[in-house]
């Protein structure tokens, strides 16, 4: 799904410095993609209600 997600972010024009909210972020893979795109100047918050989901990244 990563190519589709990246294409979607390009169409949304996600750029450095933006602030993004990922609701229902699951394991956080999309959240990490957003964080890469917005860089250190931006901010990304992921929110997931299901406590059993964990990310493979830290």
Query: Does residue 27 lie in a domain region?
Result: yes
Residue 38 in tokens: 């917005």
Residue with tokens 């956080």: 28
Q: Tell me if 17 sits within 8 A of 41, measured CB to CB.
A: yes
Domain that includes residue 16, residue range? 2-47
Query: Does residue 58 lie in a domain region?
Result: no
Query: Does residue 52 lie in a domain region?
Result: no
Query: Does residue 53 lie in a domain region?
Result: no
Residue 27 in tokens: 């394991």
Query: Does residue 55 lie in a domain region?
Result: no
pTM of the model: 0.80
Give the tens place of pLDDT for each residue, 15-44. Answer: 999 999 999 999 899 999 999 999 999 999
Q: Tell me if 7 sits within 8 A of 31, measured CB to CB.
A: no
Return the bridge partners of 20, or none: 44
Query: Does residue 32 lie in a domain region?
Result: yes
Give the tens place of pLDDT for each residue, 37-57. Answer: 999 999 999 999 988 876 555
Query: Does residue 36 lie in a domain region?
Result: yes
Q: Tell me if 31 sits within 8 A of 3, measured CB to CB.
A: no
């Amino acid at each position: 799904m990563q190519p589709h997600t990246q294409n979607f972010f390009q169409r949304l024009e996600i750029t450095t410095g933006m602030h993004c909210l990922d609701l229902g972020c699951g394991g956080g893979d999309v959240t990490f993609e957003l964080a890469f795109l917005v860089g250190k100047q931006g901010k990304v918050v992921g929110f997931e209600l299901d406590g059993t989901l964990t990310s493979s990244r830290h």
